Structure 1
Amino acid sequence: MKRHQHIAFFLTSLILLSSALLAANDEWSIHQDSVENPDVPKGEILTFTFDDSKVFPGTSRKIWVYVPAQYEGTQPACLYVCQDGIKYEATTVFDNLIHKGEMPITIGVFVAHGRLLVEDPETQVDRLNRSYEYDSVIDSYAQFLHEDLLPTIEGMKTSDGRRIHLSPRATDRMIAGNSSGGIAAFTAAFLHPEWFSRVFTGVGTYVAMRGGEQLAGLIRKVEPLPLRVFLQGGSNDNNKDVGDWWMGNQSMQRSLEFAGYEVKHAWGEGGHNAKHATSLFPDAMRWLWKDWPALPQNRGHSGEWYNRSIIPDQPWELIGEGYGFTEGPVVTPNGEVYFNDLRHSKTYHIDLDDRVSEWMSDTQRANGMAYGPDGRRYTLAANVEELWAFNEKGHKDVVAKGIRGNDIAIAFNGNMYITEPVSNASKRSDRSRVWLVRPNGEKQELDYGLKFANGIALSPDQTQLYVSDYDSHWIYSYMVQPDGTLAYKQRLIWLYKKDSEDSSRADGVRVDRFGNIWVATALGIQICDSAGRPRIILRTPNGRVANFCFGGPNLDTIYATCGDKVFKRKVKSIGAQAWQAPIKPKQPKT
């Protein structure tokens, strides 16, 4: 009995000792730059309630605006945004560091989360928007800052009449936050690097709460952005049903390093609070603002797939703009490109010097195009439900009727595969069709059932047909049979999608000679291996892409139709053309 009492006493003592050590490990010294200095000029803090949001209608929140003493009001100042109000003794730190010349003159905007206030607080509770605004991996909060709050602050005046001017340049802007405010900071910069370039997060909520656990995977796939990121985390942080905060922060750090970002981290043994972050905040600010006003640079992606597909120093180039809605790009046998403007029913031609000219007007809302083995360019004219073929001189033949086609792929044997997402102009059907049109014009329905069949492409060896389903996040694969029909339909590719969308908006599909499948989606062009796994996501400059093709004399340049614009970019991959003889790619290992 006494032995059991001794064991119990020992275990109790061990628990108390562990708790004491944990408390000691969560105590952090106060940085000297976090202490007010009577010899340092102090900035002014303006406060107001903001309740006029269009992004989060009905919400009310408190806002604090810090204006440093050194700000004169004649030039735009740098911007620092922080969620959950004033944290990390930030205003004192800014006083000291700006006074020392160790960070630029910066206006701080400290934002409380939104609340929808009830009429009777005695019997009713407010609707709190914190998790929705901060934890969601969507750009609503960034849009709130950009469209609602910052324009309101722009033009405000200090008590002595200095008008606030905020720099619009990303290199002059930082965003920060703790816990859910931390993931909100990173998400805002990751989705809108044109608005923010520097990020500080403490014990960030990178867990399965509203999709935060997906960020570490996306970072590895999305082309590196001009961001500099500081992460703070602790080994005694939350470990709950939604995930492990400590492991989530480490996954973020590993992913950012893998993708070549400028990233620095500070790990400790603390819990879910701002103590450690506050103690290191002044030094983190020095690092985040180093080399300012230069934009942060990444050191190069270390991923195998990125380096085999992308040329980092070959950026996107604008080819043309001012169109209605561009679609259906196709490359000619010599590398020139045609594309359609659906809204204005026109077809345009891009020559080898990237000069754009109108080729045809009144195209009857022509959409997808493809070349056939006979050298003709086939075009789907949606308004008249016809398939046209143009020869080199521009003479048009009607090949088939009765299909309101969206996109087309033509095999080496002349068989034409067409997606028909809707059956008429005024009503969106709940299911779509995939058609086969043989060289003699004979039609055959091959599949019925996709939500919105859109892009279509044949594998390099022409044994598989890939079809994108715009209203889901799937690319379907069919095995092409000797008679041209399809069999063994399956969901092959699981595409990434925006959390704000119910679907990936998968559109144009192309393949390269190595067997990889390239898909235009709302997130960008997703490059997938032949086994169906997304590997790389290429964003376009305006964040839109409906379709694209491999063009140029060597078929190593992407021509992307992006809303009202057309861009091009040279890549390492080489496009496969279905009208040419089939190519056997390497067999995937798994």
Structure 2
Amino acid sequence: MLESPHIEVLLDVKTKLGEGPLWDAESQRLYWIDSADGRIFRATQDGCELRSWDVGEAIGSMAVSRDGSYFLAALRTGLYRIDVSSGHRELVVDPEPELPNNRLNDGKVDRQGRFVFGSMDTLEEQATGRLYSYTPDGQLNTLDSGIVVSNGPCFSPNGRTLYFSDTWTGEIWAYDYDTANGQTANRRTFATVDTSTGGAADGATVDAEGYLWQALVYGGKIIRYDPDGTVDRIIKTPVLKVTSLAFGGADLDTLFVTSMARPPLPRFPEDGQQRGSLFSISGLGVRGLPEPRFGA
């Protein structure tokens, strides 16, 4: 049975657009990003040993390499390798050189070490975004297209279902995911989000029981969905602009939640004093799954 959660500010770093929390089980460190400022952050479970890397441009998501020597980062202009020691960056591939108004956004590593990530229209109006997969041997594959804002890629515990959102459609999609070749099929609506109340689907993760957790950005809520797509639980957050979430900590039972201090466009709402903070939620009574590193 789920318990009453305890929500606290772990770090008040005032990220303009906090996103992409990632708990790396091997190093026992939490990573997250400031998409707008172009920074990667790292800290311990209790918020100590804070370090950051300036990546030089807007960043949508990142992964840790298999050996831990570099980050694979989805930046505005393409996928880059960023050396952990020096911060030096090297372009791996630019998927969309013909779309200057797009940028790369949310991403996750599948159980086989591929990086699945999406792109988006920076004005969040045109359906010019795509969903991609980048393999450890350097192959870039397009999985879907016609997307406005790519968000929330995550996988079922067995890795054979990919969940993904185009934020302003009001839908969370599920795909059959072929773990052997990384291809998708049978896209269907997993759940719908009522965007008329001001909230929209943002970052997501799946727990060890196969339930999907999603941040409702601008709505100040976290929603837990049953594997059949019904709402199981709703948690209100201290800020409206909650952006993404990931289970972590030594026992994978703490939910780390990012938020934004400044809305990316004037039409989006402002927020309270704790805007831009990194939150931790404990006492949920569930655990997450360890996130894979990128690479074979």
TM bucket, shorter chain: 0.7 to 0.9
Q: Is the 8 A contact 1:369 1:380 kept in 2?
A: yes
Determine which structure has the larger strand proportion and give its number: 2
Bigger shift: residues 471-480 or 444-453 = 444-453
How far apart, CA to CA, are the structure 1 residues paired with 2:6 and 2:109? 31
Deviations 1:32-54 (A, max 9, x none): xxxxxxxxxxxxxxxxxxxxxxx
How far apart, CA to CA, are the structure 1 residues paired with 2:238 and 2:202? 18
Deviations 1:339-371 (A, max 9, x none): 112232222222133126241124411221234
Q: What amino acid does structure 1 have at the position aligned with 2:231? A: P
| Deviation for aligned residue 1:432 | 2.5
How far apart, CA to CA, are the structure 1 residues paired with 2:23 and 2:87? 16
The percent identity for this pair of structures is 23
1:325 matched to 2:24: no
How far apart, CA to CA, are the structure 1 residues paired with 2:55 and 2:135? 27
How far apart, CA to CA, are the structure 2 residues paired with 1:389 and 1:530? 36
1:487 matched to 2:192: no
How far apart, CA to CA, are the structure 2 residues paired with 1:363 and 1:430? 26
Q: 2:164 aligns with which of 467, 470, 475?
A: 467
> Aligned with 1:440: secondary structure?
coil
How far apart, CA to CA, are the structure 2 residues paired with 1:473 and 1:529? 17
1:569 matched to 2:281: yes
1:438 matched to 2:135: yes
Q: 1:550 to 1:458 in 2, by over 3 A?
A: same
1:352 alignment partner in structure 2 = 45
Unaligned runs of 5+ in 1: 1-306, 581-590
Deviations 1:119-176 (A, max 9, x none): xxxxxxxxxxxxxxxxxxxxxxxxxxxxxxxxxxxxxxxxxxxxxxxxxxxxxxxxxx
Q: 1:415 to 1:346 in 2, by over 3 A?
A: closer
Q: What amino acid does structure 2 have at the position aligned with 1:327? A: E
1:262-281 equivalences under 5 Å are: none
Q: Is the 8 A contact 1:479 1:486 kept in 2?
A: yes
How far apart, CA to CA, are the structure 1 residues paired with 2:155 and 2:131? 13
Q: 1:557 to 1:435 in 2, by over 3 A?
A: same
Q: What amino acid does structure 2 have at the position aligned with 1:487? A: A
Q: 1:410 to 1:372 in 2, by over 3 A?
A: farther
2:200 alignment partner in structure 1 = 505
How far apart, CA to CA, are the structure 2 residues paired with 1:380 and 1:428? 24
Q: What amino acid does structure 2 have at the position aligned with 1:340? A: I
1:210-289 equivalences under 5 Å are: none
Q: 1:441 to 1:339 in 2, by over 3 A?
A: same
Q: Is the 8 A contact 2:28 2:45 kept in 1?
A: yes
| Structure with higher RCO (Cα < 8 A, 6+ apart) | 2
Q: 1:484 to 1:356 in 2, by over 3 A?
A: same
How far apart, CA to CA, are the structure 1 residues paired with 2:139 and 2:82? 15
Deviations 1:517-575 (A, max 9, x none): 11111331110011111111111112331011112111111111122111111122111
Determine which structure has the larger helix proportion and give its number: 1
Q: 1:525 to 1:392 in 2, by over 3 A?
A: farther
| Deviation for aligned residue 1:456 | 0.6
Bigger shift: residues 330-339 or 548-557 = 330-339
Q: Is the 8 A contact 1:372 1:414 kept in 2?
A: no
1:341 alignment partner in structure 2 = 34
How far apart, CA to CA, are the structure 2 residues paired with 1:371 and 1:516? 24
1:210 alignment partner in structure 2 = none
Q: TM-score, normalised by structure 2?
A: 0.80
2:59 alignment partner in structure 1 = 366
Q: Is the 8 A contact 1:515 1:530 kept in 2?
A: yes
1:477 alignment partner in structure 2 = 174
How far apart, CA to CA, are the structure 1 residues paired with 2:86 and 2:285? 33
1:405-420 equivalences under 5 Å are: 405-420=104-119
Q: Is the 8 A contact 2:60 2:76 kept in 1?
A: no
1:515 alignment partner in structure 2 = 210
Q: 2:249 aligns with which of 532, 539, 552?
A: 552
1:300 alignment partner in structure 2 = none
**What RMSD, in angstroms, separates the aligned Cα atoms of the two structures?**
2.5
1:203 alignment partner in structure 2 = none
Bigger shift: residues 380-389 or 570-579 = 380-389
Q: 1:492 to 1:385 in 2, by over 3 A?
A: same
How far apart, CA to CA, are the structure 2 residues paired with 1:532 and 1:392? 42
Q: 1:324 to 1:561 in 2, by over 3 A?
A: same
| Deviation for aligned residue 1:378 | 3.9
| Deviation for aligned residue 1:389 | 5.1
> What is the aligned length?
266
Q: What amino acid does structure 1 have at the position aligned with 2:209? A: F
Deviations 1:476-500 (A, max 9, x none): 1111123211111111112344x44
How far apart, CA to CA, are the structure 1 residues paired with 2:53 and 2:150? 27
| Deviation for aligned residue 1:410 | 1.1
How far apart, CA to CA, are the structure 1 residues paired with 2:90 and 2:69? 10
Q: Is the 8 A contact 2:80 2:89 kept in 1?
A: no
Q: Is the 8 A contact 1:435 1:446 kept in 2?
A: yes
Q: What amino acid does structure 2 have at the position aligned with 1:433? A: R
How far apart, CA to CA, are the structure 2 residues paired with 1:451 and 1:427? 6
Q: Is the 8 A contact 1:463 1:479 kept in 2?
A: yes
Q: Is the 8 A contact 1:335 1:554 kept in 2?
A: no
Kindly name which structure, 1 or 2, has the bigger radius of gyration based on alpha carbons. Answer: 1
Deviations 1:162-202 (A, max 9, x none): xxxxxxxxxxxxxxxxxxxxxxxxxxxxxxxxxxxxxxxxx
How far apart, CA to CA, are the structure 1 residues paired with 2:16 and 2:277? 9
